[in-house]
């Protein structure tokens, strides 16, 4: 952005004037950047070379581009440091004379040295501050270690640890009770689920048995219906056969009647024919009585012919009667054979139906026997599974009892260890108190010896001790309050840090 603004200003400047603005008669280039040879070469060239370079610079391009580093370097070179370490901008004008190159270089070197000194001082201050903070932190840690090494602080820490231990134990007991409750609930749910499954299985088995019985009843009804239908069909067949027999007998009787009628008609016809013949004969005899002798032979021939015709008629009637008798015998045989066939077929159907019923009953009994055996196996398996579950439950209860006994023994051992440690700590405290009392008594003796000579110093030391005790008490109170707050934040029950809150700090400080 700064390069772009410089480019824009140079563009406007090149549009207004094609020559650079003159700021000094000589060169102000830093020798440390380019070296002293550049300046000496320019001075050796003379004013003509300078004029030539300026002319080339003004005529080669209307625009000039410089980098950001060159711009900052030009800005720094256009400033000089004053005696108060402030940098003011040097106003370049043709009226003021330009400082020499050596003075500008010296000023810049002094300015860089002062900046370096300032940086060193700042670094030294930072290091000093870090060291002081480190020392303060070390002192604070040492003071905390010293505070933790005091008896009252150890007692407070012991009370805090005991409260935390009791809280952890309560949480463990609570978790254990919840776990046992969950296990009992799970066992109850499993027992209820098993009982529900058993009842459902029994209901399903009863429903299956009822369905099977219903199917058997329906099958029996169907078989009975089929038997009844067959019986009805047999009755219908018998009735049809009887009807056919009756019709056949009626037809036979009708045929017999017809035959009798035809025979009667034939006899009547024969009788009429005979009567007619006899009448004709009588008429002929009467008419031909006159011609008796001539016609006697003819009459005898006619009688012989009539007798022959009668004999033929009798033979024909006997043959017809014999054929009718033979036909009736054949019809009777056919009827008897048909009756025997129908009776045999009915017996076969009845035997088949009886065998089918017996097979169905035998299959049903076998199926019932297999179902009873399967039901017995299922009941045995269920009893074995129930006994196994009871055994597993008993073993689990025994394991829980053993675990509870071990936990109780561990708790007893822990409590004994805690009591032993507390007793040892109490003994150490008692020894320490005894030693402290001995030391205090020695100090009291020493104070008694020096009391007459150092009353003022003693009073002053007493005030200092009182102040130290007050500060120590305040510090211990703050530590106790901090421990209590930490335990409250951790969720420890208040009854467990009642020992800590009821601890008399003055009593321990005055020992």
In a domain, 81, yes or no: yes
The DSSP string of 403-450 is HHHHHHHHHHHHHHHHHHHHHHHHHHHHHHHHHHHHHHHHHHHHHHHH
In a domain, 142, yes or no: no
The upper half-sphere exposure of residue 292, i.e. CA atoms within 13 Å in the direction of its Cβ, equals: 4
CA dist 288 → 70, 291, 306 (Å): 196, 5, 19
For residues 360-370, give the mean pLDDT. Answer: 80
Domain boundary among 345, 380, 406: 406
Listed range (70-74, 110-114, 127-131, 485-489) with the worst mean pLDDT: 70-74
Angle between helices 151-287 and 101-149 (to 10 degrees): 80
| Number of domains making up the chain | 2
Q: Are residues 78 and 184 in the same domain?
A: no
Domain boundary among 354, 379, 406: 406
Token duo for residue 139: 């002192």
Burial 128-140 (b: 16+ CB within 10 A, else e): eeeeeeeeeeeee
Token duo for residue 93: 């004008």
In a domain, 143, yes or no: no
Listed range (189-193, 312-316, 381-385) with the worst mean pLDDT: 312-316
User: Is the CA virtual torsion 244, 250, 253, 258 positive or negative?
Assistant: negative
Q: Are residues 106 and 174 in the same domain?
A: no
Q: Is 319 exposed, middle or buried (0-12, 13-18, 19+ CB in 10 A)?
A: exposed
Domain boundary among 130, 160, 177: 130
In a domain, 144, yes or no: no
For residues 288-303, give the mean pLDDT. Answer: 67
Q: Are residues 179 and 63 in the same domain?
A: no
For residues 370-383, give the mean pLDDT. Answer: 81
Average pLDDT, the chain: 72
Q: Are residues 401 and 288 in the same domain?
A: yes
pLDDT one-digit tens code per residue, 109-130: 888 888 888 888 888 788 777 8
The upper half-sphere exposure of residue 497, i.e. CA atoms within 13 Å in the direction of its Cβ, equals: 22
Indicate whether 506 pLDDT > 60. yes
Q: Are residues 112 and 179 in the same domain?
A: no
For residue 2, give every residue at least 6 positions away whose Cβ sits within 8 Å of its Cβ, in sequence order, or none: 68, 71
User: Is the CA virtual torsion 25, 29, 35, 41 positive or negative?
Assistant: negative
Q: Are residues 42 and 175 in the same domain?
A: no
Indicate whether 20 pLDDT > 60. no
Token duo for residue 3: 């390069």
Angle, alpha carbons 168-173-178 (nearest 5°): 125
Q: Are residues 104 and 23 in the same domain?
A: yes
Q: Are residues 191 and 113 in the same domain?
A: no
Domain that holds residue 392: 169-406
Task: For residue 53, name the pLDDT band (cuts at 50, 70, 90).
Answer: very low
For residue 295, give every residue at least 6 positions away whose Cβ sits within 8 Å of its Cβ, in sequence order, or none: 284, 285, 288
Percent of the chain with pLDDT over 70: 67
pLDDT of residue 278: 72
pLDDT of residue 144: 66
In a domain, 252, yes or no: yes
Q: Are residues 399 and 275 in the same domain?
A: yes
Whether the CB-CB separation of 306 and 274 falls below 8 Å is answered with yes
In the three-class reduction of DSSP (H, G, I as helix; E, B as strand; rest coil), residue 65 is classed as coil
The candidate with the shortest Cα–Cα distance to 480, out of 446, 464, 459, 504, is 504
Whether the CB-CB separation of 114 and 85 falls below 8 Å is answered with yes
Q: Are residues 123 and 269 in the same domain?
A: no
CA dist 369 → 364, 375, 376, 383, 397 (Å): 8, 10, 10, 21, 41
In a domain, 109, yes or no: yes
Percent of the chain with pLDDT over 90: 0
Whether the CB-CB separation of 160 and 496 falls below 8 Å is answered with no
The upper half-sphere exposure of residue 110, i.e. CA atoms within 13 Å in the direction of its Cβ, equals: 15
For residue 505, give every residue at least 6 positions away whose Cβ sits within 8 Å of its Cβ, in sequence order, or none: 152, 473, 476, 477, 480
- List residues bridging with 80 in a β-sheet: 88
pLDDT of residue 209: 87
pLDDT one-digit tens code per residue, 385-408: 878 888 888 888 888 888 888 887
What is the distance of C-alpha 17 from the center of its chain? Answer: 84
Q: Are residues 175 and 302 in the same domain?
A: yes
For residues 450-474, give the mean pLDDT. Answer: 73
Q: How many residues does the chain have?
A: 511
CA dihedral 292, 293, 295, 301 (to 10 degrees): 120
In a domain, 428, yes or no: no
């Amino acid at each position: 952005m700064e390069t772009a603004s410089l480019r824009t200003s140079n563009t406007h400047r090149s549009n207004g004037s094609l020559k650079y603005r003159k700021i000094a008669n000589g060169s102000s280039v830093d020798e440390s950047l380019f070296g002293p040879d550049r300046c000496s070469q320019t001075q050796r060239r003379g004013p003509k070379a300078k004029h030539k370079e300026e002319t080339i610079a003004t005529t080669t391009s209307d625009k000039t581009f410089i980098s950001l580093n060159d711009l900052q370097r030009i800005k720094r070179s256009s400033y000089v440091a004053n005696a108060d370490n402030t940098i003011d901008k040097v106003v370049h004008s043709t009226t003021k004379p330009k400082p020499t190159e050596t003075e500008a270089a010296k000023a810049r070197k002094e300015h860089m040295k002062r900046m370096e000194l300032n940086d060193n001082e700042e670094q030294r201050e930072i290091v000093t501050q870090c060291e002081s903070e480190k020392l303060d932190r070390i002192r604070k840690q040492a003071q905390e270690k010293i505070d933790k090494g005091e008896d009252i602080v150890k007692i407070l820490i012991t009370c805090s640890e005991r409260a935390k231990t009791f809280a952890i134990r309560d949480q463990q007991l609570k978790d254990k009770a919840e776990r046992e409750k969950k296990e009992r609930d799970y066992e109850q749910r499993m027992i209820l689920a098993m009982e529900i499954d058993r009842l459902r299985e029994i209901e399903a088995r009863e429903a299956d048995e009822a369905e099977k019985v219903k199917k058997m009843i329906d099958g029996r009804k169907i078989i009975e219906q089929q038997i009844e239908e067959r019986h009805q069909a047999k009755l219908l067949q018998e009735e049809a056969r009887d009807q056919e027999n009756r019709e056949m007998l009626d037809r036979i009787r009708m045929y017999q009647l017809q035959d009798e009628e035809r025979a009667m008609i034939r006899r009547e016809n024969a009788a009429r024919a005979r009567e007619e013949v006899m009448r004709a004969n009588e008429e002929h005899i009467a008419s031909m009585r006159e011609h008796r002798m001539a016609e006697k032979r003819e009459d005898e021939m006619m009688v012989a012919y009539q007798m022959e015709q009668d004999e033929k008629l009798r033979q024909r009637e006997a043959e017809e009667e014999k054929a009718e008798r033979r036909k009736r015998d054949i019809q009777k045989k056919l009827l008897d054979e048909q009756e025997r066939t129908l009776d045999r077929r009915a017996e076969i159907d009845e035997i088949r139906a009886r065998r089918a019923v017996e097979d169905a009953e035998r299959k049903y009994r076998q199926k019932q026997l297999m179902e009873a055996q399967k039901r017995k196996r299922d009941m045995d398996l269920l009893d074995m599974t129930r006994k196994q579950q009871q055994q597993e439950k008993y073993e689990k209860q025994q394991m829980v009892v053993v675990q509870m006994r071990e936990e109780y023994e561990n708790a007893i051992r822990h409590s004994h260890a805690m009591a032993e440690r507390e007793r040892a700590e109490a003994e150490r405290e008692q020894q320490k108190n005894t030693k402290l009392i001995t030391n205090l008594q020695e100090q009291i003796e020493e104070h008694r010896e020096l009391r007459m000579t150092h009353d003022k110093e003693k009073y002053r030391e007493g005030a200092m001790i009182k102040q130290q005790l007050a500060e120590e008490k305040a510090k211990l109170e703050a530590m106790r309050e901090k421990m209590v707050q930490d335990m409250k934040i951790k969720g420890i029950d208040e009854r467990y840090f009642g020992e800590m809150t009821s601890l008399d700090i003055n009593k321990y400080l005055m020992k």
